Amino acid sequence: MTLLQLRYISEVAKQGSFCKAAQNLYVSQPGVSKMVAALEKELGITIFVRSASGITLTAEGKRLLDAGNRLLRDADHIANQFSQISPVRPESFCVSSLHYSFVVDAFTELLRRAESPSQHYKIKICQSSDVLQHVMDLESEVGVLSAGEHNRDYLTRVLERSGLEFHRLIRSNICAFLHESHPLAEKAALTFSDLAPYPCIMYELDMDSPSILHEQFSISTFYPKRVVVVTGLYQSLEVMVRCQGYDLGNGIISPGNKRQGVVKRPVEGLDAPVSIGWVSRRGQALSAPALEFVKELDIYCRDI
């Protein structure tokens, strides 16, 4: 089966006639008929039913046409992406990050300011091990993560071995993030005892990744009894608002957080600073979108 055969079948179905399809394809009618017959023989199905009143698709032919049209659209998309004669080459950029709202804010600001008429921008919210892997595999041009006392040596070895480099944006202590409606929001500082009655929000872990890279393991002195595991920032906010939950994380609160009513409070006993920064492949020049994104990250961190 070839894309050419699928194009012939799609055109025949669209025109309802082998003759009209051949005219649009600039080939002979026998050539179209032979191409369709060859595919019917290869797949062992009947695609079209011919009659005096015209041709109709069989049930198997409809399923083939649906799947074939998807393949043809994908093929056209790929051709447009990489064709040297395409008048507009899409501007592409992908970033992977831990669950940081300020990264989402910087990404959306990049989208707002982008002037390219054709863009393929992507943001992946994931764990540290995935952030590193995405940058190593060139899936993402930039990755945003944190390095603390608990994982700094390990992370340094991984970066060196993988040809990556870490660019620090800010140093911050771990704080508690909670909604402004939370009973503890009025307190200037919190203790572990204060937090104990409320659910602690944690992000779902990939059990195959090294535990030393999980943010939760940076807090070795605190073991909450009530835990809610979520997969994204939206679920985290819902638990904060509806269930008086709190999230322990690096002490950065973005404009997006503030608009949603999220506040941060220091926690006694959590005074080991953590560095937040972005990683990229060593010696590789960043694309224009990546440079703009890194600039936005720096602006947000300076404001914070």
Q: What is the mean pLDDT of each run of 10 residues along the chain (304 residues)?
A: 88 85 83 87 88 83 88 81 60 90 92 82 90 91 88 87 93 89 94 92 65 50 78 85 89 80 88 88 91 92 70
> Which residue has 């994380």 as its token pair?
249
Q: What is the DSSP letter of 47?
A: -
Distance CA 286, CA 116 (A): 17
pLDDT of 206 = 57
Query: Residue 112 corresponds to which tokens in the numbers above?
Result: 């707002």
Inter-residue contact 143 to 97 (CB < 8 Å): yes
**Quick check: 177 and 257 in contact, CB under 8 A?**
yes
pTM above 0.75, yes or no: no
d(CA 258, CA 264): 10
Tokens of 97: 């990050």
Q: From CA 142, how far away is CA 96, in angstroms rounded?
A: 7
For position 290, what pLDDT does the model report? Answer: 94
For 1, 231, 247, the CA distances from 250, given in Å and listed in that order, are 54, 18, 10
Taking the mean position of all CA atoms in its chain, how far away is CA 92?
13
| Structure confidence at residue 152 (pLDDT) | 81
Query: Which positions ≥6 away from 237 have C-beta within 8 Å?
Result: 179, 260, 262
pLDDT value at position 257? 81
Looking at residue 87, the DSSP 8-state letter turns out to be S
Say which residue the tokens 């399923």 belong to: 63
How far, in whole angstroms, is CA 26 from its chain's centroid? 43
